């Protein structure tokens, strides 16, 4: 938390204490009201505007990384009753690739995020992306792979050497195998090529297998792009 957030939180706490509304006071009756989803209008950003905003955020991250520059408490209160994210990001579970940070210190309620090792589109991910586009009105879908991805490295080993992976890791990595097989023997770094190809194929899969997303894309309401994040420089390269 940055200093501005700490100051803001302190002010907020003092105000609440003065009004007798210290944290927890509202739930002491034992009555928990069911959460009601308030209707929040979707973002007004067009797909290309959302993409430009992500690029601008990544530039900010690369030039002047900041862990927390926003007032998160105020924001939390603002979005508690509903969300209207302006971009959907499918990326790797890798701890070095948190989208909210690498797109410039974004706050609560801005990105609709799906993550799994290797950023593949299984049923849960496809359903999540459909929900983001259809229900929440997110105008942009970004599939973002990253440099030196462990899941992709594993898929490369399976493709090259027939390595057997334990537990559910094997079937999980199977989703990356078509990209690995397609890139075997090609010029350049094998893993880097597969990272790019896997992101591309995942983006294509979302656009072809999901009728809902396909429809949104045809209507011009949603755009799908793919990108690769550079762990060393922090730059997100939007490829297609």
Which parts of this chain interact with Zn ion (CB under 5 A)?
A: 92, 94, 149
* Distance in Å, CB of 146 to Zn ion, minimum: 6
* Distance in Å, CB of 151 to Zn ion, minimum: 5
* Distance in Å, CB of 100 to Zn ion, minimum: 17
Angle in degrees, CA 216, 200, 185, rounded to 5: 160
* Distance in Å, CB of 183 to Zn ion, minimum: 16
* Distance in Å, CB of 179 to Zn ion, minimum: 13
Of 94 and 110, the one with the shorter C-beta distance to Zn ion is 94
Q: Distance between CA atoms of 98 and 40, rounded to whole angstroms? A: 25
Of 72 and 101, the one with the shorter C-beta distance to Zn ion is 101
* C-alpha distances out from residue 194 to 130, 174, 237, Å: 26, 13, 15
* Distance in Å, CB of 149 to Zn ion, minimum: 3
């Amino acid at each position: 938390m940055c200093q501005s957030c700490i100051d803001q939180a302190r002010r907020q706490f003092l105000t609440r204490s003065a009004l007798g509304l210290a944290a927890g006071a509202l739930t002491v009756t034992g009555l928990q009201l069911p959460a009601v989803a308030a209707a929040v209008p979707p973002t007004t950003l067009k797909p290309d505007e959302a993409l430009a905003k992500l690029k601008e955020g990544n530039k900010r991250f690369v030039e002047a990384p900041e862990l927390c520059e926003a007032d998160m408490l105020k924001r939390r209160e603002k979005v508690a009753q509903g969300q209207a994210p302006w971009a959907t990001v499918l990326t790797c579970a890798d701890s070095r690739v948190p989208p909210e940070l690498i797109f410039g210190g974004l706050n609560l309620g801005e990105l609709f995020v799906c993550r799994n090792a290797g950023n593949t589109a299984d049923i849960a991910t496809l359903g999540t992306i459909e929900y983001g586009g259809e229900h929440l009105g997110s105008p942009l879908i970004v599939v973002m792979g990253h440099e030196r991805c462990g899941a992709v490295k594993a898929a490369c080993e399976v493709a090259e050497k027939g390595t057997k992976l334990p537990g559910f890791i094997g079937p999980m990595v199977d989703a990356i195998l078509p990209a690995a097989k397609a890139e075997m023997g090609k010029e350049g770094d094998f893993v880097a090529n597969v990272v790019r190809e896997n992101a591309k194929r995942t983006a294509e899969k979302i656009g072809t297998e999901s009728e809902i997303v396909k429809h949104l894309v045809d209507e011009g309401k949603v755009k799908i792009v793919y990108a690769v994040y550079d762990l060393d420089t922090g730059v997100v390269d939007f490829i297609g």
